[in-house]
A and B are shown apart, each in its own frame.
Chain A
Amino acid sequence: MVYKITAEADRQYIDEFREAPITHHRSPGLQRVLNVMRLYRGGDQYILIARKEFQDYVIGRMPPLRDEPIVIEDDLVFPSREAAEWELFRRRWHQITGETIALNYEEKPA
Chain B
Amino acid sequence: MLKITGYPDRYSAEPGETIAFKVSLEENDRFEARLVRVIHGDANPQGPGLKFRHIPSNADGSHPGFAQSIDAGSYMSVENFPPLDAAFTFYTMIWPTLLRRDDQTILAQWDDKSGTGVHIGLKAGGYVTVTLGGSEGVTQAVAPKAMVERQWYALAVAIDPARGTVRIDQSPVIPYAMSDDRVASEFTLSPAQAASGLMLAGTPLADATVGRHFDGKLDSPILISGLHPASLQDRLMRTPRDIELGRSLIAHWDFSRKIDTAETVDTGPYCFHGKLGNLPTRGMKGWNWTGEDHSWTRKPEHYGAIHFHSDDLYDAAWETSVAVKLPDDLPSGPYALHVSCGPSDVDATREDYISFFVTPPRDAAKRGTRPKLCFLAPTCSYIAYANHAEHITARGVEILMNRMVHFGHSDLWMYEHPELGGSLYDTHADGSGVAYSSRLRPVLNFKAQYHSWLGGHGSAVYQYNADTHLFDWLEEKGFEYDVITDEDLHRDGLALIEPYDVIMTGTHPEYHSTAMWDAMKAWIDRGGRLMYLGGNGWYWRVGFSDHWPGAMELRRAEDGIRPWIAEPGEYYHSFTGEYGGLWRRLGRAPNVMAGVGFIAQGFDFSSYYQRAPDADNPRARFIFEGVPDQIIGNFGLVGGGAAGIELDCITTDLGSPTNMLRLASSEGHSGFMLLVNEEFGPVPPNLGGDQNDRVRADLAFGETAAGGALFATSSIAWCGSLSHNGYDNNVSRITENVLKRFLDPAPFPTSPDTDGA
Contact = CB atoms under 8 A, between A and B. Distances in A.
Interface of A: 22-26, 31, 34-35, 38-40, 45-54, 56, 60, 62, 66, 69-70, 81, 84-85, 88, 110
Interface stretch (B397-405, B548-556, B652-660): B397-405
Contacts of B395: 40, 45
Contacts of B83: none
B404 A47 contact: yes
B407 A22 contact: no
A46 B404 contact: yes
Contacts of B605: 23-24
A110 B46 contact: yes
B327 interface: no
A55 B408 CA distance: 12
Nearest to B672: A31
**Ordered nearest first, which 5 A-B pairs have the shortest CB separation?**
A51-B346, A48-B404, A40-B395, A38-B399, A24-B605
A54 B44 contact: yes
Interface string B28-54: 000000000000000111100000000
A52 B393 CA distance: 24
A70 B415 contact: yes
Residue among A35, A49, A84 with the most chain B CB within 10 A?
A: A49
B393 to A, nearest CB: 8
Given A38-B399, A53-B451, A81-B404, 9 more contacts: A22-B403, A34-B402, A40-B399, A48-B406, A49-B412, A50-B406, A51-B347, A53-B408, A70-B415
Contacts of B412: 49, 70
B685 interface: no
B576 interface: no
B613 interface: no
A31 to B, nearest CB: 7
B734 interface: no
Nearest to A58: B346
Nearest to B401: A38
B265 interface: no
B753 interface: no
8 contacts: A24-B604, A39-B399, A40-B398, A48-B404, A49-B408, A53-B449, A62-B415, A70-B412
A46 B670 CA distance: 24
B415 A40 contact: no
Nearest to B393: A66
B707 interface: no
B403 A50 contact: no
B416 interface: yes
Residue among A23, A34, A88 with the most chain B CB within 10 A?
A: A23
B392 A66 contact: yes
A35 B405 contact: no
Nearest to B389: A66
B720 interface: no
Contacts of A25: 670, 690
A40 B395 CA distance: 6
Contacts of B607: 24
B684 interface: no
Contact of B346 (A31, A56, A84): A56
Interface residues of B, number: 36
Nearest to A24: B605
A24 B403 CA distance: 11
A48 B407 contact: yes
B43 A47 contact: no
A21 to B, nearest CB: 8
Given A24-B640, A110-B46, A85 B407 contact: no
Interface in B688-712: 690
A51 B46 CA distance: 19
A60 B416 CA distance: 14
B490 interface: no
B407 to A, nearest CB: 5
Contacts of A39: 396, 399
A49 B412 CA distance: 8
B457 A22 contact: yes
A14 B391 CA distance: 27
B361 interface: no
Nearest to A51: B346
A27 B604 CA distance: 15
A85 B670 contact: no
Contacts of A45: 395, 398, 405
Contacts of B46: 110
B115 interface: no
Contacts of A69: 416
A69 B415 CA distance: 8
B418 interface: yes
Contact of A48 (B402, B405, B640): B405
B671 interface: yes
Nearest to A72: B412
A84 B398 CA distance: 14
A31 B671 contact: yes
B670 A40 contact: no
Nearest to B640: A24
Nearest to A39: B399
A66 to B, nearest CB: 6
B407 A60 contact: yes
B591 to A, nearest CB: 29
A50 B408 contact: yes
Interface string B553-571: 0000000000000000000
A69 B404 CA distance: 19
Interface string B593-607: 000000000001101
A70 B416 CA distance: 9
Contacts of B451: 50, 53
Interface string B344-359: 0011000000000000
A90 to B, nearest CB: 13
A40 B45 CA distance: 33
A81 B640 contact: no
Residue among B399, B429, B451, B640 with the most chain A CB within 10 A?
A: B399
A22 B457 CA distance: 8
Interface string B377-421: 000000000000001110110110011111111001001101000
A85 to B, nearest CB: 6
Nearest to B391: A47
Contacts of A54: 43-45
Nearest to B416: A69
Contacts of A23: 605
A51 B346 CA distance: 5
A73 to B, nearest CB: 13
B670 A24 contact: yes
A29 to B, nearest CB: 13
B187 to A, nearest CB: 31
A62 B408 contact: no
Nearest to A36: B399
A25 B347 CA distance: 34
Contacts of B640: 24
A88 B399 contact: no
A38 B397 CA distance: 9
Contact of A81 (B44, B403, B416, B429): B403
B504 to A, nearest CB: 28
B399 A35 contact: yes
A43 B405 CA distance: 16
Given A25-B670, A31-B671, A38-B398, A47 B405 contact: yes
Interface in B6-60: 43-46
A89 B690 CA distance: 25
B20 to A, nearest CB: 30
B377 to A, nearest CB: 24
Contact of B43 (A26, A38, A53, A110): A53
A66 B43 contact: no
Nearest to B408: A50
A84 B408 contact: no
B346 A52 contact: yes
